[in-house]
Structure 1
């Protein structure tokens, strides 16, 4: 146990030292600017990003993970008694609904904004 913790501490120290040593302190404005065939760029180098798309994608990922957490509840019905199963299911679904109501009230699902 002690040897594993020593190896862990030594490897963390080595990673921190490598990170500190490898930092480049010289920053050139020309190197960090966008390059377009030797000319100054005509427009912004970055594309505009839709915040609504990002919010919908995050909500999709959250509910996708929640569905994967709901599926094992079906298998635990055989193991648990009905009262424990219904309490756990009810609490989990209530947490999901409260999160959905909170997101909806904050305007994340509002398409008109």
Structure 2
């Protein structure tokens, strides 16, 4: 019964905090000057909402994914002496095979072709 009472108290306190945070964080006044971009006190020369290249975004996401994968491969090199060689080889080959499948899939989808 004590556990039930504590969980209900925690739930009520968290709901009150979420409600207060959502009501206090809302902006009530949308001022044109506050929503416009700031350029050292001068009027902006061109639009601040420039079109963004989706190809650049895709290349950046692919880079981040494979950068994290490199961070996962590096510790595998360090534990080669202390682990079972067959298990280590099987795990690392499967991991690298999944990476190669991912890069081949991206290549066939055309995400790596910058010029098209």
- Say whether the fold is shared (TM-score over 0.5): yes
Q: Which runs of 5+ in 1 are unaligned?
A: none
Aligned length, in residue pairs: 111
Q: Secondary structure at the match of 1:77?
A: coil
Structure 2 length-normalised TM: 0.70
Q: Deviations over 1:34-88 (max 9, x none)?
A: 4798x8x885331221222211111111111100000010122112111001100
Which of 94, 99, 107 is equivalent to 1:96?
99
Q: Please state how far the C-alpha of 1:22 moved relative to its aligned partner.
A: 2.5
Q: Which runs of 5+ in 2 are unaligned?
A: none
Q: Please state how far the C-alpha of 1:93 moved relative to its aligned partner.
A: 0.3
The ranges of structure 1 where at least 4 consecutive aligned residues each deviate by more than 6 angstroms after the TM superposition are: none
Report what 2:90 is aligned to.
Answer: 87
Q: Verify: 1:45 aligned to 2:48, yes or no.
A: yes
Which of 8, 11, 35 is equivalent to 1:9?
11
Structure 1 length-normalised TM: 0.72
Give the superposed CA RMSD: 3.2
Q: Please state how far the C-alpha of 1:17 moved relative to its aligned partner.
A: 1.0
Maintained 8 Å contact 2:37/2:48: no
Moved more, 43-52 or 81-90: 43-52
Relative distance call for 1:12 and 1:101 in structure 2 (3 A) is farther
Matches within 5 A, 1:68-83: 68-83=71-86
